[in-house]
Amino acid sequence: MTHVFHRNPRQHLDFAMRGQGIELFDQNGKGYIDASGGAAVSCLGHGHPVVIQAIKDQLDRIAYAHSSFFTTQAAEDLADFLAERAPGDLDHVYFLSGGSEAVEAALKLARQYFVETGQPARRHFIARRQSYHGNTLGALAIGGNAWRREPFLPLLVPAHHVAPCYAYRDQLPGESEEQYAERLAQELEQKILELGAGNVAAFVAETVVGATAGALAPVKTYWRRMREVCDRHGVLLILDEVMSGMGRSGHLFACAEDDVVPDIIAIAKGLGAGYQPIGAMLASGRIYDAIVAGSGFFQHGHTYMGHATACAAALAVQEVIERDHLLANVLARGEQLRGELRSALGQHRNVGDIRGRGLFVGVEFVQDRAGKAALDPAQKTHARLKTQAMHNGLLMYPMGGTIDGVRGDHVLLAPPFICTDADISEIVARFAATVSQVLP
């Protein structure tokens, strides 16, 4: 009998005993390639000596000081590092302990911005269907899956949803990418007008959708069009890069590839790469200055924000990524991964789409490639793929069922940035074997 209140008490869990490089090992010594077992977290793999040393050094100095009394060198250095590399003027870095906290803080900052600038309070948020932004009550409220929200109704934040940019399923025959992006921008504009522009605080979305749709990158002009609509109506743009950011998509900030600068961006996961729990919210000068000129105090905070050990770990992670030119490897290995997946599985009747950016790769499963109909959710294909993959020594991130607009089963592969080309081939071999065992 365990006293840990596991999320799924009926599920059997083995023990993670140790990790080395791209592998982790259970209590029986069985090894698993961590090709995103940690939900796109472990970007440097396990047991990286530089990160471990940085954590030890910080512990020897100081682990914790409350943020209302002190700052720390680790927090200042990490904020400098991020601000220098962030797009536009997103150079005010607010530290938190994870992704939900970062999104939650972004929602509150957006609302407070309008109050501080003497505008009527804007209470509503617009997000997208088939989205996930975290599990705290505010972040949950904006998430695009009703089945997640239902047990917690009524939620605290009024949220409304528009379509995600899902060209594989929603781009019409004969419609160009530009026309498709324009159609989605018009839908957002209509939603804003319906609600009354003066009521909408922000549009919130993942730059590249992660778990809920399997590495779904938007068409080229999408973000530019969405930004224009937000600007026309004074609506803030919040990008959630909790999963897609910090190099996962091949750029430190995913939106760098999309020619868009949001007002607020949320990051987590890859920031600390699993070595310490840490997230952050980056705000533009316009937002920061409004708070400073107004009350001078952001009404939000947590005990562990800017934790010195977490900041030291994250800085070490980011410095290693830069020092070892790992983002170039992310781009090259990502191309390889998609290419080898297409060679191995491109003709499989149930493999509908292989997509993504950098080492953020999704595979969508269907009844047949031409019809694109989702697999029967009762078959729980995604869950069977996960179990079989573990049997084959592979950790990947499954999501699925046709629940509430989640259209079909898919799997996310987000292996560490340190993968070699041989590692990628091994991941593809284990993944292809898994697919042929579950979907013969």
Minimum separation from the CB atom of position 198 to ligand PMP (A): 28
Residue type present at position 259: D
CA gap 21, 45 in Å, rounded: 5
**Which residues, including other chains, have CB under 8 Å from residue 9's CB and lie 6 or more apart?**
none
CA distances from 336 to 55, 306, 363, 423 (A): 33, 37, 14, 11
3-class state of residue 93 by DSSP: strand
CA gap 133, 142 in Å, rounded: 7
Both structure tokens of 25 = 């090992």
Binding region for ligand PMP (CB under 6 A) out of 112-120, 132-140, 288-296, 315-323: 132-140
With binding defined as CB under 6 A, does residue 103 bind ligand PMP? yes
The residue within the footprint of ligand PMP, chosen from 211, 229, 239, 424 (CB under 6 A), is 211
Minimum separation from the CB atom of position 428 to ligand PMP (A): 24
Minimum separation from the CB atom of position 100 to ligand PMP (A): 3
- Residue number, 111 or 133, with CB nearest to ligand PMP: 133
Number of H helices, E strands in the chain: 13, 15
- Residue number, 211 or 424, with CB nearest to ligand PMP: 211
CA gap 359, 32 in Å, rounded: 18
With binding defined as CB under 6 A, does residue 19 bind ligand PMP? no
With binding defined as CB under 6 A, does residue 401 bind ligand PMP? no
The residue within the footprint of ligand PMP, chosen from 91, 189, 206, 409 (CB under 6 A), is 206
Minimum separation from the CB atom of position 320 to ligand PMP (A): 21
The residue within the footprint of ligand PMP, chosen from 37, 38, 87, 134 (CB under 6 A), is 134
3-class state of residue 361 by DSSP: strand
CA gap 330, 361 in Å, rounded: 11
Binding region for ligand PMP (CB under 6 A) out of 15-23, 65-73, 238-246, 400-408: 238-246
Tell me how far the alpha carbon of residue 179 is from its chain's centroid. 27
Both structure tokens of 64 = 């914790």
- Residue number, 132 or 222, with CB nearest to ligand PMP: 132
The residue within the footprint of ligand PMP, chosen from 99, 214, 218, 415 (CB under 6 A), is 99
- Residue number, 114 or 144, with CB nearest to ligand PMP: 144
Kindly provide the residue ranges of all beta strands, DSSP E only, lying in 149-301, ordered along the sequence: 159-162, 200-206, 236-241, 264-267, 279-283
With binding defined as CB under 6 A, does residue 203 bind ligand PMP? no
Residues that bind ligand PMP (CB under 6 A): 39, 98-100, 103, 132-134, 206, 210-211, 240, 242-243, 268
